[in-house]
Structure 1
Amino acid sequence: MLAGVRVADFSRVLAGPYATMMLADFGADVVKIESPAGDDTRHWRPPVDASGRATYFGSVNRNKRSVALDLTDAAGLAEARRLAASADVVIENFRPGVMDRFGLSYDEVRASNPGVVYCSITGFGTGEGAALAGYDLLVQAVGGLMSITGAPGGEPAKAGVALVDVLTGQNAVTGILLALRECERTGHGQRVEVNLLHGLLSALTNQAASTLATGTPPPRLGNAHPSIAPYAVFHADDRELVIAVGNDKQFRALAGVLGVPTLADDARFAGNVDRVAHRAELTALIEERLAGASAAHWVEALSSAGVPAGLVNDVAEAIAFGEALGLEPVAEIGAGAATSRTIANPIGLSASPAVYRTPPPALDEHAGADWHPTPSKGPHP
């Protein structure tokens, strides 16, 4: 689908590399331009995979070529400019102004390559927030996510993965593809700008909407939902499970499975608004019943009755669960001890699916390759 699209990838760490891997999976030729020291995540170890590669780096850099260039060196900078001039897409996530200092700004690249789609990823935009460091933890804090994550009355908590970086990488992919489509139509490129803070605010969805509508920020509720009950983590005899009741029919089925069908007729729990108002009482009653059997027993019984429920899996269990469902969540490249295993691209296309061609590259593995110095004429259909 993206065969013939050249991507000059000046990004590093997570948001940018995640975006370019998504493009590479669908055929784009991604040239990863690294400093002589390499992407920082090459050195974030342990853990490492079977070939000794840092798993953090490996998670977002398959299907790419690597060339190491020192942008403070005249020859390295000249090669970087040549790569940018030959690319359909340039992507970078330096602090605002860094690419300008190297003569690689959008305006300078566009002057020699008018069809270029130039994507800049920043932490807080290019205005008043340009000087702020775009670290995921920082954005989770100032962007409000930590204020609604964690136990009630407890310490604010971050998500267990750099979620804002991943969301921003997805936004970058969307913007790039939109701009490529427009370039197909007009022959003109454009600049794509995404930033971590705005991406997070957009992802707050209902929590942001309630704040705008009421003027009151939502509190931390732990694993409870502000608008639905029971919709949380519960404790069974041996481990935790999630029960996610979304309507009265499901609640009635839940009450039946738990052996207390009268709960569905109790005025405190008759409708969702009532259940939210009496959440603590309802939770105590549910957990009293759940304590009599294993979580796996309850998940099977509830699922059979049409009540959404599942175990609180660890990451290994989650991958195995996806495999058991036939989702094929793991992509394998190579064979034997050197096999690279990463999570497969989550986008399924019936006619042009993602293809896993090469493992994450060694630093400067593709030095001296032919980068076709003549600028392309835009993306190929």
Structure 2
Amino acid sequence: MKALKGVKILDFTHVQSGPTCTQLLAWFGADVIKVERPGVGDATRKQLVDVPGADSLYFTMLNHNKRSIELNSKNETGKEVLTRLVKECDVLVENFAPGALDRMGFSWERIQEINPRIIMASVKGFGPGKYEDCKVYENVAQCAGGSASTTGFLDGPPVVTGAQIGDSGTGLHLALGIVTALFQREKSGRGQKVLAPMQDGVINLCRVKLRDQQRLEKGPLKEYSQYGAGIPFGDATPRAGNDSGGGQPGRILKCKGWETDPNAYTYFITQAAVWEKVCDVIGEPDWKTKEGYATPPERLSKLDEIFARVEAWTMTKTKYEVMDICNPLDIPVGPILSTKEIMEDQGLRATGTIVDVDHPERGQYTTVGCPIKLSDSPVDVTRSPLLGEHTTEILQQVLGYEGEDLARVIASGAVGQVTK
């Protein structure tokens, strides 16, 4: 049985943040009805197109397991259909610009009138305040949420991360909010609003940097490389390069083949509990008891020297050999995996984290499967819908339109060019 079987989601989302949320809910069994503009659809259908005439990977990889209905909400019949959708669904998810639903005639108050049990979940760039009407994209959220200012190297500019923590990260936060609101509704009988601002989501993911901001007020951050290098700290959490964020010194180090392979690197952590094993592996057994090296506080001022010695060892091994040697000794290491290596990883394929999907227009493509595994709610990743593919099906099965009534709606132009 699917965990969210029977839950209907009215999906008014587009691009990445909202679709990430609704795709996750669809994977858990919710019936996600994606509402799209007739003849146009989600903007990402035609962004970064790699197969002419087919939906882009940008769209397909964010809209699995959903049904698509074309609907013009400005058309009077379209408003009628939308009203019935609001009445039938459990959750409305949207990431429109602020005020867009109000201008459509579907304010929160109107939505509650139609369906007092519905949950309205929204992604916005900023929460209530002076920036709440600003348009926000992935990198803007990373910058406003503290990620960029703390990412990169000390002598360089702020850097955004390749992980989509602003868009996809916010979608994950919103999905949790929706499921929580559904749980509360079982007790209260009432729906409610769920808001996930992108800035807030990034801040939550950067909480360790706010931790360090407060520690900095009490003195230097000794586990940061700049402490050992004698570089003074400023008044804000600095960029820390590849230092570990958890207090255990760590660095990205070169491995065998780094001269030609941009990803021949490993992340190596000199965890205090396995320091003696690290010394044996790198051929420095004297460091176990040598003054200035034996305890974690002593080593903080010598991290550059220590990691240079560790790197001299890792450069004689491939990143996988480093894993094979260190893991049995409980020394925390991890290979820097390229996107190509991840897509080809048989272990990730076996767990359904990486899957191949067949598509009628673009053929087979590889995508990310559900990252969360439930033992009693297995996930089957099905392809994204074609634009308006399920319009008639939804009108009939969800909203109960039949016969002349169905023909009237189709003839109105509110639901695009319906094909059987």
Against the structure 1 CA distance between its residues 322 and 222, is the aligned structure 2 distance closer, same or farther, given a 3 Å change threshold? farther
Q: Which amino acid is the alignment partner of residue 203 of structure 2?
A: L
Q: Is the 8 A contact 1:147 1:156 kept in 2?
A: yes
**Secondary structure in 2 aligned to 1:362?**
coil
Amino acid at match of 1:31: I
2:398 is matched with which residue? 372
Give the whole-Å Cα distance in 2 for the aligned partners of 1:139 and 1:195. Answer: 9
SS at match of 1:163: coil
Could you report, residue by residue, the CA deviation over 1:308-349 in whole angstroms, capped at 9, with x for unpaired residues?
Answer: 222211012123346269433223444898345421111111
How far did residue 227 of structure 1 move?
A: 5.5
* Contact preservation (8 Å) 1:229, 1:279: no
Q: Matched residue of 1:368: which SS?
A: helix
Deviation at 1:74, TM superposition (A): 2.7
Do 2:126 and 2:134's aligned partners in 1 also have CA atoms closer than 8 Å? yes
Taking a change above 3 Å as real, the CA distance of residues 324 and 139 of structure 1, as seen in their structure-2 partners, is: closer
Deviation sequence 1:270-295 (CA, Å, 0-9, x none): 23333333221212222223333433
Structure 1 residue 189, shift from structure 2 partner: 0.9
SS in 2 for 1:118: strand
SS at match of 2:166: helix
Deviation readout 1:131-179 (Å, 9 max, x if unpaired): 1112111111122101111122112111113222111111111110011
SS in structure 1 opposite 2:33?
strand
Residue pair 2:124, 2:196 contacting (<8 A) in 1 also? yes
1:307 aligns with 2:309: no
* Separation (CA, whole Å) in 1 of partners of 2:177 and 2:248: 37
Give the equivalent residue in structure 1 for 2:159.
Answer: 157
Partners of 2:291 and 2:208 lie apart in 1 by 27
Asked whether the equivalents of residues 242 and 310 of structure 1 are also in contact (C-alpha less than 8 Å), the reply is yes
Unaligned ranges ≥5, structure 2: 218-234, 259-263, 401-420
2:134 matched to which residue of 1?
132
Q: Distance in 1 between matches of 2:333 and 2:248?
A: 13
Q: What's 1:201 paired with?
A: 203
Give the alignment partner of residue 296 of structure 2, picking from 263, 272, 284: 272
The within-5 A match list for 1:338-357 is 338-356=363-381
TM-superposed CA distance for 1:181, in Å, is: 0.7
Instruction: Choose from 225, 230, 254 the match for 1:235.
Output: 254
The 1:271–1:368 alpha-carbon spacing in structure 2 relative to 1, beyond 3 Å, is same
Residue type matched to 1:295 in 2? Answer: K
Distance in 1 of aligned mates of 2:209 and 2:156: 19
SS in 1 for 2:392: coil
1:100-179 aligned at under 5 Å gives the runs 100-179=102-181
2:239 to 220, 223, 232: 220
For 1:272 and 1:326, how far apart are their aligned partners in 2?
Answer: 40
Q: Which structure: larger Rg?
A: 2
Structure 1 window deviating more from structure 2 (123-132 vs 13-22): it is 123-132
Q: Note closer, same or farther for the CA distance 1:110–1:42 as it changes in structure 2 (3 Å cut).
A: same
- Partner Cα distance (2:344, 2:293) in 1: 36
1:42 maps onto 2:45 in alignment: yes
User: Structure 1: which 5+ residue stretches go unaligned?
Assistant: 375-381
TM-score, scaled relative to structure 1: 0.90
CA distance in 1, matches of 2:179, 2:107: 20
Greater Cα shift, 332-341 or 360-369: 332-341
Deviations 1:212-248, CA, capped at 9 Å, x for gaps: 4544421112111255454110012313333443632
Deviation at 1:188, TM superposition (A): 1.0
| Letter aligned with residue 201 of structure 2 | G
Tell me the secondary structure at the aligned position of residue 97 of structure 2: coil
Structure 1 vs Structure 2: percent identity of aligned residues? 28
CA contact (8 A) 2:26 2:65 kept: yes
**Does residue 320 of the first structure (1) align with residue 322 of the second (2)?**
no
| Conservation of the 8 A alpha-carbon contact between 2:352 and 2:370 | no
d(CA) in 1 for partners of 2:99, 2:128? 9
Deviations 1:3-33 (A, max 9, x none): 1111100011111101111111111110101
Distance 2:145 2:359 in 1: 43
Contact in 2 for aligned 1:228/1:245 (Cα 8 Å): no
Q: CA separation in 1, counterparts of 2:288 and 2:49?
A: 51
- Counterpart in the other structure of 1:292: 316
Matched, 1:283 2:307: yes
Q: Give the distance between the partners of 2:88 and 2:359, measured in 1 at CA.
A: 34
Structure 1 window deviating more from structure 2 (238-247 vs 57-66): it is 238-247
What amino acid is aligned across from residue 150 of structure 2 in structure 1? Answer: I
Give the paired residue count: 372
Q: Is the 8 A contact 1:241 1:311 kept in 2?
A: yes
1:179 touches 1:190 (CA, 8 Å); kept in 2?
yes
The worse-fitting range, judged by mean Cα deviation, of 273-282 and 332-341 is: 332-341
* Structure 2 residue 263 is matched with structure 1 residue 263: no
What is the letter of the counterpart of residue 20 of structure 1?
T
Residue 203 of structure 1 deviates from its aligned partner by: 1.1
- Residue 194 of structure 1 aligns to a residue whose secondary structure is strand
Paired with 2:211 and 2:129, the residues of 1 have a C-alpha distance of 25
Quote the Cα distance in structure 1 between the aligned partners of 2:350 and 2:392.
42
Q: Normalising to structure 2: TM-score of the pair?
A: 0.82
Q: Aligned in 2, Cα 1:71/1:271: closer, same or farther, shift over 3 Å?
A: farther
Q: What corresponds to 2:13 in structure 1?
A: 11
Q: Give the Cα–Cα distance (whole angstroms) in 2 for the partners of residues 117 and 2 of structure 1.
A: 15
Quick check: 22-31 or 215-224, which moved more? 215-224
Look up the match of 1:63: 65
**Is the CA contact 2:265–2:336 (under 8 Å) kept in the aligned structure 1?**
yes
2:4 and 2:32 map into 1 onto residues whose CA distance is 11
How far is 1:71 from its partner? 2.6
